[in-house]
Structure 1
Amino acid sequence: MPYDVELPDGIESVYLQPTFQRGVVQAPSQTSYPSKSEIELALYRILTGNTDMHGKVIDASCLLTEIPQQDWKTSIEYWNWDFINSSKDLRIGETTLGEYFSCTNNICSASPPGDRGTAHEPDLVYAAMSSMAAKVKGRRLLLTSERGFIGLGPMAMRPGDIVAVLIGHNRPVVIRKTLLVGGRQTWRIVGECFVEGLMEAEAARFSLFEQSTDLIFM
């Protein structure tokens, strides 16, 4: 069940330069999430993986609503702010990523969907912040061009790669065409990805298994 990948530019250096390079590769404007609130929820689930560092499920709305840009670039506050700000022009549906998070030079405001303005326990906020910092490290945001799914993929992925659901594998993967062998196309796995809407057997909702294809991996 393949989908073409569109993605922003990636990470350059953690210390001496901005953590994440600026600029995006823009995907088409269609989206699999019917409303802005559902896109917001999808973003929060993607950025935290829906769990804390120990695998405990946390409410997506616990992600910190004010992410300060710290002076030290190894802090989780700076890491999270810079990840959002680096791809703020990426259009998701009819809205850019920056409009969901309202990034400025000093603050990145991310109001939780359905719970705006509500304070959360500091330990829950820190758990969500830590989880996001761990999830986005070495990752890029991706959008699929066919259905407009949002996700996080491996740093090594690039435009033209495919997001695939492999039968028997518990996570979607990014795959890439390689050499023809005996007249047949071969593929290699670039890495696993987290794609909101394809993580818990949702592929069956779209009758995607009717589009299944046998692939040869190298």
Structure 2
Amino acid sequence: MRLADLSEQSQVSLATIKYYLREGLLAPGRRINATQAEYDDSHLRRLRLVRAMIQVGRMPVATVREVLARVDDGSLGRTLRLGAALWALPRAAEPEPDDPDVAAARTEVDRMLTGLGWSDTAEIGWLSPVYRELVASVASLNRLGYPLDAADLTPYALQMEQTAIHDLDRMERLDGAMEQVESAVASAVLFEPVLLGLRRLAQEQQAARRFGLAD
């Protein structure tokens, strides 16, 4: 497809697509003459991912470029490529390792990981921004008087493990490692609000069943 076709199918303006090309967020098309290039479905898929990261994820262009560099890193296997891409996504403020609340939260998170047998995650530990974000969140709850210990965290982790299995099952239906990693990044940006909405609906249902509508 030509650039105009790519714009029409993606509903992204020509000016924006050209900007993404200049910034390296979108690979150049296959040159067919001195002034024109041809684009394919991979460009359309990448363009939708970039729009999701910028418009929904509110990510700056520099961060999008960093995440996509991990997605495109062919030197990594699928697992490492996916992990590197997800680690590059924006996170909350970094926790202070010497903060007593952070240290206490870290102890409980580590106890949970050991109990679940999530040895790979436990070994990576503080190197993982996802781990640090979880520790910081637990520490914040502790400070506010809503403590979470390993026993509290474990049932949630088990539910999320089943969610992760379903995520990967859906991802593997796609063709090619690149498309699979792209879909995982898109899901991380777009799908978490769906999970939050489902959790809140489930809470409403369970509260009504447990306490009745009049309580």
User: Given the two structures, how large is their TM-score scaled by the length of structure 1?
Assistant: 0.27
Q: Which structure is richer in relative contact order (CA contacts within 8 A, separation 6 or more)?
A: 1
Structure with the greater alpha carbon radius of gyration = 2
